[in-house]
Amino acid sequence: MSVCLIVGCDKGIGRSMALQLHERGETVIAACLGDSEELRSLGIQVEPDIDVCDDAAVKAMAKRLKDAGTKIDVLVNVAGVLGVDKLGEIDYDDVRRQFEINTVGPLRVVESLLDSLDEGSKVGIVTSRVGSINDNESGGLYAYRVSKCAANMVGVNLYHDLKGRGITVVLLHPGMVNTDLTRGFDGEFIEPEEAAAGLIKIVDNAKIGDGPEFRHSNGELLPW
């Protein structure tokens, strides 16, 4: 039985990952921006009020887990935000907000929790193929693209810095998922449950020596 900390479990993909991991018998810790009585009622440990932009909140969670002697086998940062923009109408306050949540957030979480990660631990960061430089054929979405591209670099850096400790890091693209984040977009969507199952499978299969990888929830290896 593994201890799995999922950050961003209020709804959507994070909630689905927490539920699926719990259902298969893992010990799940669900970090939420708010709270979740639903998850608590199932016996899942909930860490409420975890804003990945709030250094004090993230460090306080890390201290609680360390003081409890909790060792994390799987850490997945799902928390993220998407704001729509285009050239000529860019809100630079929103650019900074997306960068703080999507890029700095995962780095802050992993760095704060280093003492609770051991050899064999796995770290997943949910990013997006929209952040792929080689896959960009349409432009637009400046803040989101830049923040997710930078999140990929955070993940690759973490991979190299942590591999000597026997910890592996994988970058995860969930796909076009039917959540509040994608409301108003056109395309073929999958449900959060399907995306969560795919991401869990990728993390399960991740191992030291694979090299830093960027994978779609369907298993496809994506370009940087």
- What pLDDT digit, counting tens, does each position of 95-132 carry? 999 999 999 999 999 999 999 999 999 999 999 999 99
**Which residue's entry shows tokens 């449950």?**
193
Distance from C-alpha of 151 to C-alpha of 100, rounded to nearest angstrom: 10
**Which residue's entry shows tokens 């409890």?**
68
Q: Is the pLDDT of residue 185 over 70?
A: no
Considering the chain, what percentage of its residues have pLDDT values greater than 70? 96
Beta-carbon contacts of residue 120 (< 8 Å; ≥ 6 apart): 73, 166, 167
Q: Return the percent helix, strand and coil in the chain, to nearest 5.
A: 45, 20, 40
Number of neighbours of residue 13 by Cβ within 10 angstroms: 29
The pLDDT value recorded for residue 210 is 85
How many CA atoms lie within 13 Å of 86's alpha carbon, on the beta-carbon side? 2
- Assigned CATH for 3-216: 3.40.50.720
Which residue ranges make up each domain of the chain? 3-216
